[in-house]
A and B are shown apart, each in its own frame.
Chain A
């Protein structure tokens, strides 16, 4: 059983002179000491570690084991499939000020955003009115005041108090199955402001003494479409927090409060130093630039919110500059916020940016807030990453912030390549997809759902020395897994898998190719009264997942969907046939084998798709980019891909890689080396004959820019980014235009 400190001592924030500091004072002290000399909490000497390293490490191992144990127990106490089966949860412990001391496995970059909610509570005197008590339970799902990367992620915070002072917070997080927005699921794809994001709560107390209050259960039941699942998850988060709460009280009993307070500061400072050292010893200093784009297509979707009736080409721009104190990430030039679902907040942006930072630089140290001190960030006010409007929708920022991680993580990868640490260098992609929605069964039972499969695992991009692997990683979690199909079938009663497999040819080509992405065919069977589906993708295939390929390779293609409504699937099934992925579906419709009344390919977000019996929803996601010049690919590797089916189209690879092959009567491809050599010479000549000198190209393109001969979405994108000085300077100086130049809106 968890221990509750005696009530007489546990209330924080009273006004006696002997009282411990308020949370606000604690945060101010922490900031003052840290800023005074650049060391966390002003700690220059790791004296506890130096004087008794065994005791110090034993102390930390107890903290760390408490959060690891919380995860491994709590998700089996009660949980939805996303949390139990996959990596969609995390537990952590922080200092009183919200600085992370340890996190469990799971989606670990949330460590960077724990301080947001705690600092909000401190700044608004939660501990003064009406007090914070040991074992209270706070819920948070607001991007602005809690830093969450989307309101589908829900946080539980439990304060750990000793003698009236908050000394730590236990934190549990998971991604909900449904969060009650007008667009059902857990990332509302159409949302014009925060009031359409679903159940969004700033930090608020929902329970006491490690027990949720009854009204809170009613909130899940009445304000979301998956009340049962969400209540299970709520219990799961709290169960883990209770374990951490108990373990921390025991820890302080054993080591003493003074040791605890000094040790936690040393732990964060120790890891900060290691992270900075890791950065300096693996990254070539300089300026690394990157960009990414993502379309939000809202034009014509509805006639109610006229101010949201436009398309937005979101531009993510960033530079990474390693420096003495770690590295700087500057996002100036990134689009402004808009009336769409894709705005982030600084906390939400951190949640994505730190994916690569933690993976790259915290691998050999304690995962703490130390890394946050080593990564300086500029998210300009007014941008999509830091809106100057407090009511923006933050329903699905993960769709674009992940590309910021791709740029930052990609810079790290490039820096390590330059330094010679090639084993760390690979093409970074975060090409996720999921699907979600709501339905009403035949008996009137209403339900909401999210299928996380293509969020759970995606392909890894090509390494600089070998091909990328399928399904092997999820940038946001160490627990890459797409989960069990049966689990998802059980949570979405009318939708069954006809196929679930790697999608041939679906990757960025290069000397080394990216790992192939995945595709599934979801079959609607007896949907009852209704089922509607949307898909909250990361990048969508109207744009590539990132702007830059790695060293001559192509960046990974993004996600897409296909809806096939009104099919003759019964007839097709009777022949023992069924499409198993997107390519097979299109081939079967092209050949006429599968007849479809309404076939639509979605390279942008789809509106809600109402599905009937024998309708199909087909998706593809999780592809990744290549590395190096495709003409340098080992011809035998191309032949292997043809024979394994990874590359299904000989004509495509012949021109991409310059490989000539012959097919034997049994279908096996064999290499024609001499013809391949000649083909490669021809293709290199063709490259030169079909290309222009940059100077000539520049002159032609400059005319296009001057005349704003763009699609309207492109013109609007430039207008927004040019409102930031850094991008304006780069854009106008590159095209040799007056600094005050503006792109017309097309």
Chain B
């Protein structure tokens, strides 16, 4: 039998802050089995760091969270508090985008020159929070490529089956990509 172990909140804070030392990282990497209570300690650490009180349901990215707004609302929210809307719609649709299409524009983000992607075959897309200007995502794709929905979590399954703590507003509807519903309205 492997005993379930627990990792201190302090260590998880160091991981989030990027101040953890290599020895502790090594110990974490060599755990025979991961500590099963990590998720909720992690959420506790994250909740301490943000300026708002909305309960964090999941950390999507460094500064991007799915939070509960109560009354059956779950939204993607920036660390600054900006709401990107229902998490089932790709949050990038509510972001601002800067596209680097020419070699000259791409040279500002790739170095040395031979490493710059070929204009026309590729473009660099940068997705920003419209409020604080945080760069939440980068895509390097051909022109015309659909914006990539990087991750749609099945939150209810996660909380109920993996964590054993079902969410109060659980519903089958929550695991559904609604991105196209938004773009369908843009052409009208």
Contact = CB atoms under 8 A, between A and B. Distances in A.
B126 interface: yes
Nearest to A604: B118
Interface in A457-472: 464-466
A42 interface: no
Contacts of A511: 62
Contacts of B151: 286-289, 414, 418
Interface string A201-233: 000000000000000000000000000000000
Interface stretch (B13-21, B47-55, B164-172): B13-21
Contacts of A280: 162
Given A419-B39, A694-B92, A694-B94, A714 B136 contact: no
B96 interface: yes
Given A281-B36, A631-B135, A733-B180, A290 B140 contact: no
A711 B121 contact: yes
B154 interface: yes
Interface in A521-559: 541-544, 546-549, 551-555, 557-558
A281 to B, nearest CB: 6
Contact of A423 (B25, B36, B150, B155): B25
19 contacts: A286-B152, A289-B149, A290-B148, A291-B141, A418-B59, A422-B16, A423-B25, A548-B138, A552-B62, A555-B138, A601-B114, A629-B135, A687-B128, A687-B133, A688-B96, A694-B147, A699-B187, A701-B144, A710-B142
Interface string A565-588: 000000000000000001100100
Given A414-B150, A543-B121, A620-B114, A465 B18 contact: yes
Interface in B101-133: 108-118, 120-122, 124, 126, 128, 130, 132-133
B97 A603 contact: no
Given A713-B121, A714-B143, A422 B15 contact: yes
Which of A549, A583, A632 is most buried by chain B, counting CB atoms within 10 A of its CB? A549
Interface string B147-188: 111111111011001100000000000010101100110110
Contacts, number: 267
A736 B183 contact: yes
B96 A506 contact: no
B134 A552 contact: yes
Interface stretch (A77-85, A489-497, A648-656): A648-656
Contact of A655 (B39, B108, B128): B108
A295 interface: yes
Nearest to A647: B111
Given A285-B162, A688-B96, A552 B136 contact: yes
A714 B121 contact: yes
B154 A629 contact: no
Interface in B43-87: 43, 58-64
Given A284-B158, A418-B151, A698-B183, 13 more contacts: A285-B158, A286-B158, A290-B148, A313-B121, A418-B153, A422-B12, A541-B116, A549-B137, A551-B64, A623-B115, A629-B134, A687-B126, A693-B130
Contact of A419 (B38, B126, B149): B38
A687 B147 contact: no
Interface size grouping (class) on chain B? 35 or more
Which 9 residue pairs of A and B lie closest in terms of their CB atoms, listed nearest first?
Answer: A420-B42, A684-B133, A549-B138, A557-B115, A286-B153, A733-B180, A734-B146, A544-B140, A691-B96
A562 interface: yes
A289 B97 contact: no
Contacts of B36: 281
B114 A560 contact: yes
B114 A558 contact: no
User: SS class of chain A's interface: helix, strand, loop or mixed?
Assistant: mixed
Contact of B117 (A464, A541, A701): A541
A307 interface: no
Contacts of A734: 146-147, 179-180, 183
Contact of A551 (B94, B137, B162): B137
A477 to B, nearest CB: 18
B78 to A, nearest CB: 11
A718 interface: yes
Nearest to B17: A465
Nearest to B63: A629
Given A288-B151, A548-B150, A691-B96, A420 B38 contact: yes
Contacts of A420: 12, 38-39, 41-43, 59
Contacts of A702: 187
A293 B122 CA distance: 9
A547 B139 contact: yes
Contact of A710 (B60, B116, B143): B143
A663 interface: no
A627 B149 CA distance: 18
A659 B179 CA distance: 37
B148 A464 contact: no
Contacts of A16: none
Contacts of A548: 137-139, 148, 150
A547 B59 contact: no
Given A280-B162, A736-B183, A421 B34 contact: yes
Contact of A582 (B42, B61, B112, B143): B112
Contacts of A717: 142
B153 A285 contact: yes
Nearest to B60: A418
A705 B144 contact: yes
Given A286-B151, A629-B62, A688-B130, A549 B140 contact: yes
B13 to A, nearest CB: 11
A598 interface: no
Nearest to B11: A423
A447 interface: no
Nearest to A699: B186
B170 to A, nearest CB: 14
Nearest to A631: B135
A735 interface: yes
Interface in A626-646: 627-632
A417 B116 CA distance: 29
A731 interface: yes
A582 B111 CA distance: 12
B58 A418 contact: yes
B121 to A, nearest CB: 6
Nearest to A313: B121
A735 B187 CA distance: 9
A564 interface: no
Contacts of B32: 364
Contacts of B93: 694-695
Nearest to B131: A688
Given A313-B142, A420-B12, A731-B146, A649 B111 contact: yes
A488 interface: no
Given A691-B96, A698-B186, A734-B183, A557 B110 contact: yes
